[in-house]
Structure 1
Amino acid sequence: MAKKGPRQLAGLRCSECKNFNYISERNRTNTPDKIELKKYCPRCRKHTTHKEVSKLK
């Protein structure tokens, strides 16, 4: 079943160790900029800023 609407997947990468950790959904109509979230990085073992790196298919 295909998803309908403006939601799309976004990969999140740690800003400190550059490890790809999370996949999140975002609404492309309300957030034209790349998203930044504070998430736990298991490699750094602390909460760091994770930034969107690319659009996943």
Structure 2
Amino acid sequence: MAKGKDKRTIVTLECTDCVQNRFKKKNKKSPGIYRYVTQKNPKNTKSLLELRKFCPFCHKHTIHGEIKN
């Protein structure tokens, strides 16, 4: 028989370049911070998730790191 599905948690990935630029430019208004939503299995991936994804605000592929929900 097939086993039941493992509990997968929903995680949010945030663009690291947008976050750094937002704190550097305090006077200028930044366009925003782009976020992706994905799932991960906490049994297999205990560390924080980091993926390289496209950010439409930066107009390039950047590293998106996991944040607290």
TM-score in terms of structure 1 length: 0.82
Contact 2:34 2:57 in 1 (8 A): no
Q: Per residue, is there more strand in 1 or in 2?
A: 1
Alignment of 1:32-51 (within 5 A): 32-51=46-65
Q: Deviations over 1:16-39 (max 9, x none)?
A: 002241001001000000000000
Cα RMSD after superposing both structures:
1.2
Give 1 or 2: higher helix fraction.
2
Count of aligned pairs: 52
1:1-57 aligned within 5 A:
5-18=6-19, 19-55=33-69
Listed one character per residue, the Cα deviations across residues 1-56 of structure 1 (whole Å, up to 9, x for unaligned) are xxx5221100000010022410010010000000000000010010000000014x
Structure 1 runs of 4+ off > 3 angstroms?
none
TM-score by length of 2: 0.69
Percentage of identical aligned residues: 38
- Higher-Rg structure is 2
Q: Is the 8 A contact 1:11 1:22 kept in 2?
A: yes
